[in-house]
Homo-oligomer: A and B are copies of this chain.
Amino acid sequence: MTSIRDVAKHAGVAISTVSKVVNNYPGVSQETKEKVNKAIEELDFVPNAVAAALSSKQAGRIALIVSLNKVTKAIDEINMQYISGAINQAQQLGLDVITLFTSMLEDKSTDEIIRYLKAQNIAGLVIFGISKTKKKLHGIINSGAFKTVVVDAPFYNAHTSSVWIDNKQAQYDIVEKTLKYDKCDSILYIAGEKQSYVMDERLAGMEELVKEHNISMLVKYGDFSELKAREITMKHAQKRGMVVCASDLMAIGAMKALIDMDIFRPVCGFDGITLMGYVGMQMNTVKQNFARIGSEAVTECGRLLSGETGRNIKLDYELVRMRYEDIIR
């Protein structure tokens, strides 16, 4: 392990000079800069980020907390995009990030978790996939021990920000767009989980839409499960003119059911996930740039850490028109 001191000695300059060169600070002559860089090359010096963090006592690291799929305990594509976007942004901003999964916090009390995070020198939190039932996460947020950014949930106050897209408007827009191509006067809406914050929003969007267009709507909860959506479709789609699903996965289930029933109904998804292309289906979708949401969340967390106050951020979304045609059985 070669340290900054070795470099300084090798280059025949002071430690602080090396530090300045490494961090691109002003006040170093071109000449010495080159000398130092040469020494860095030769010794293959890599500054120790941990030590730097300790010394500069920068606000601290930030932790990404990710809720897992309850059934398989896996991370779906959307959460993965959140994470990627967040980590990339953190590297850009020079923030230190670690990723935590809720499954590993399960056997710890709220207090223990807070202590653990503090011990890890964590000052900021970005939480993905929180629902109304996650008491522990709520406890951590409310403790005020950390600057927190919550994705897809309505929390914002002095030390908490929320980042999401406008789910209500998105749900409204996507169905309205579908209606332009396929008129109908009754919709089967397969919602997700009741305890999900985004569901409240999306449902509100649907309610506004059916009211304005004078359409009847049957709401069923599919819990974001392909299988349940399939069953619901089997049971209720016959008498309805269109199936709207709160997630692409459920839309896939609905489509499979429709194929088996051998009837055609317009189907409308939401997320715009890769899997859709994988199974060879196409439909109306809100193409969310999930990575961007993660990225934005980290940026916002940085803002909070530097003393600014929390806020409620709604990002733009984008609508993509697709139809299902060559469906693979």
> Measuring CB to CB, which residues of chain A are less than 8 angstroms from any residue of chain B?
46-51, 53-54, 61, 68, 71-77, 79-81, 83-84, 87-88, 98-99, 101, 103-104, 115, 118-121, 227, 273-275, 278-279, 328
Contact = CB atoms under 8 A, between A and B. Distances in A.
A74 B271 CA distance: 15
A71 B279 CA distance: 11
A121 B48 contact: yes
A207 B179 CA distance: 56
Given A54-B54, A71-B275, A72-B77, 8 more contacts: A49-B119, A49-B120, A50-B54, A50-B121, A72-B80, A88-B104, A99-B99, A227-B279
Contacts of A328: 227
5 contacts: A49-B121, A71-B275, A72-B275, A73-B77, A83-B101
Most buried by B among A48, A50, A278: A50
Given A51-B54, A54-B50, A104-B87, A71 B274 contact: yes
Contacts of A74: 74-77, 79-80
A20 B222 CA distance: 55
B46 A273 contact: no
Contact of A53 (B50, B81, B104): B50
